[in-house]
Amino acid sequence: MAARDDKIHIATLPWLAFCHMMPWLEFAMLVAQKGRKIPFISIPRNIDPLPKPLPHLSSLIHYVKLPLRPVEGLPQNAEATMDLPPTEVRYLKKALDVLQQPMTQLLESLDPDWVFFDFAPYWLALTAAQLGIKSSFFTICNAPMVAFLGPSSLLIHGDDERKKPEDFTVPPKWVPFPTNVAYRYYDIKSTFDCVKENVSGASDFVRRGWCLKSNDVIAVRSCSEIEPEWLQLIESIHRKPVFPVRQLPPTTYETEDKIDMWRSIKEWLDMKEKISVVYIAFGGEAKPCKPQLTELVLGLELSGLPFFWAHRNRRGIADKELIELPPGFEEQTKGRGVVCTSWAPQLKILAHESVGGFLTQSGWSSMVEALMFGRAVILFTFYADQGINA
């Protein structure tokens, strides 16, 4: 066991997706500012690119590397969701489940007072309880999404009356107040696989069900000023404390090469009129298909608006299919638009006065960033909670 001191230790284990890890890092910094020690646990290749903790928090936030073990079906060096096509992410969950024993040993060594965990390691709360460690399921989804899932018993045992995609297009019966929060058919159709068991042995519904059932506290990326009735509903459904951790807006981290890249982007934005530019970004994981790209390109051409498009042309190392824009598009829009296939400083772009709208994949982190700067959002959903966010 680690030597104890007078500071509370809170171990954290986010899901292996950078869209999860960055809000989790913001959460770690928020907690560290209260004087708490935070072992931040993840796979080595996912920790290495993370920014160093701010100097005044460096003694409190510690990156802890937990090596991933190979499993059949998972490509070599695929250690994050962005490394895989969406259909293959199930193997990453399977690989995480294999870490149950190493994670137990790590918790015994770290000896934290609490462990906060994401939806994938659904076994972690029971493991923590056996070690005398309190646990919290921390979801980066907003409160309406968590409430929409419903009671844990329905998720775990498959007792939910919602059996078909159409059943998710209306508000659930346990929501006691008027709401239009529900999936549209085309949104749930692309997400419905989360209800089914997969090669990992547990569906996403089962994982979330056990996470919601087994912990001591539910932490939600929300605040009572915006979603009070939904937070109260989650507490009522699960009969345990619900802790809103706020929206966790991101911190800007800069290196010399990023400063240089921003300088050239800013020069282009500076030449545009105020609130005239459409910023387009779908994150590192959403992958538009060819027909979607074609329609989007046609829309941009017809709009006549200036645009800056942060375009990733592939998801990751195991994704063999490039996301290619229609031939001639960049040439036709030269001067009016920019297509950036490398890293783009999203926060700085959204903060620039020339940007008026944000075409986004509707991930909650992107929505929070748009709200930070009061930008109009155009929502283009792909999967998961994005339909509910929209």
Both 370 and 229 in one domain: the answer is no
**Catalytic residue of the set 118, 160, 187, 385:** 118
Do the domain assignments include residue 380? yes
Both 209 and 82 in one domain: the answer is yes
pLDDT at 288: 84
| Domain limits for position 261 | 256-389
pLDDT at 310 over 60: yes
| Structure tokens that stand for 172 in this block | 């659930």
Name the domain count of the chain: 2
Confidence (pTM): 0.90
pLDDT at 321 over 80: no
Tell me which of 49 and 178 has the higher pLDDT: 178
Decide if 272 contacts 306 (C-beta within 8 A): yes
φ, ψ (nearest 5 deg) of residue 214 = -90, -10
Tell me which of 330 and 141 has the higher pLDDT: 141
Last residue of a domain, one of 192, 212, 244: 244
Task: State the pLDDT confidence band at 2, using cuts at 50, 70 and 90.
Answer: very low
Both 152 and 86 in one domain: the answer is yes
Both 64 and 137 in one domain: the answer is yes
pLDDT at 283 over 90: no
Last residue of a domain, one of 189, 210, 244: 244
**Catalytic residue of the set 9, 20, 238, 352:** 20
DSSP designation for 345? -
Both 108 and 198 in one domain: the answer is yes
Residue 20 a catalytic site member: yes
Both 280 and 355 in one domain: the answer is yes
Decide if 145 contacts 385 (C-beta within 8 A): yes
pLDDT at 5 over 80: no
Residue 118 a catalytic site member: yes
Rounded Cα distance, 168 and 163, in Å: 9
Do the domain assignments include residue 249? no
Tell me which of 114 and 187 has the higher pLDDT: 114
pLDDT at 197 over 80: no
Do the domain assignments include residue 59? yes
pLDDT at 236 over 80: yes
Do the domain assignments include residue 181? yes
Both 52 and 132 in one domain: the answer is yes
The share of the chain scoring above pLDDT 90, in percent, equals 63
Q: Which residues contact 116 (CB under 8 A, 6 or more apart)?
A: 10, 11, 12, 13, 27, 135, 136, 137, 138, 219
The CATH number of residue 308's host domain is: 3.40.50.2000
Both 228 and 347 in one domain: the answer is no
Per-chain mean pLDDT for the chain: 90
Do the domain assignments include residue 5? no
pLDDT at 328 over 90: no
pLDDT at 80 over 70: yes
pLDDT at 87: 80
Both 82 and 220 in one domain: the answer is yes
Both 112 and 176 in one domain: the answer is yes
Overall average pLDDT of the 282-302 stretch: 86
- Classify strands 242-244 and 307-310 as parallel, antiparallel or unpaired: unpaired
Rounded Cα distance, 140 and 247, in Å: 9
pLDDT at 255: 58
pLDDT at 3 over 60: no
Give pLDDT tens digits for 329-379: 888 888 899 999 888 899 999 999 999 999 999 889 999 999 889 999 999
Overall average pLDDT of the 299-310 stretch: 93
Of the candidates 252, 194, 219, the residue with the CA atom closest to the CA atom of residue 388: 194
Do the domain assignments include residue 64? yes
Last residue of a domain, one of 244, 267, 296: 244
Both 80 and 125 in one domain: the answer is yes
Tell me which of 52 and 123 has the higher pLDDT: 123
Residues pairing with 360 in the sheet? 281, 379
Do the domain assignments include residue 250? no
pLDDT at 1: 44
Both 209 and 155 in one domain: the answer is yes
pLDDT at 191: 78
Do the domain assignments include residue 4? no
Tell me which of 19 and 103 has the higher pLDDT: 103
